Amino acid sequence: MSSSARSVLCVFLLLFALPVLAQSDDCEHPNPSIILGTVRNAHERRPMTDVFVTARSPNLQGELSVSTNAQGRYGIPQLPPGEYTLTFEKEGFQAYTRLAIQLHPNRIIVVGVELLAAAPEEPVRVIAPLQSSTWAPRPPE
């Protein structure tokens, strides 16, 4: 085989091999999607930092959790298509769950939420009526 024929053969092999090599390592989920958004305080309408955002889906092995940044933003990348449930949690605020989020292949879904402050816990007071009783000192022995 001449050197020019070998060169042409190498070029054709490379042209056919490049698409295969360029494929994602994640062959199980070839069209990953992203869920992103901003979490705000419902009363003040300000972005909230350090809110835990958890994604659950039958298409995930377990669950994925991220937290919001200083601007209240979060992003959960590389998600396989399917139905998702998102839970937003932060101490001092009511947890919020968003159900039935449909994620299609190769899409970006924006889910913004506002969290309400948790109701303050009131101390428990026990109030009972005063019952009268007679008390007499014990006689000395």
pLDDT at 98: 93
pLDDT tens, the chain, 141 aa long = 665 555 544 444 444 443 443 444 444 556 789 999 999 998 999 999 999 999 999 988 889 999 999 999 999 999 999 999 999 999 999 999 999 999 999 999 999 999 999 877 667 676 766 666 666 667 776
pLDDT at 16: 45
Buried residues in 27-65 as b, exposed as e (16+ CB within 10 A): eebeebbebbbbbbbeeeeebbeebbbbbbbeeeeeebe
pLDDT at 136: 63
CATH C-level class of 29-115: mainly beta
> In the numeric block, which tokens belong to residue 36?
């992103």
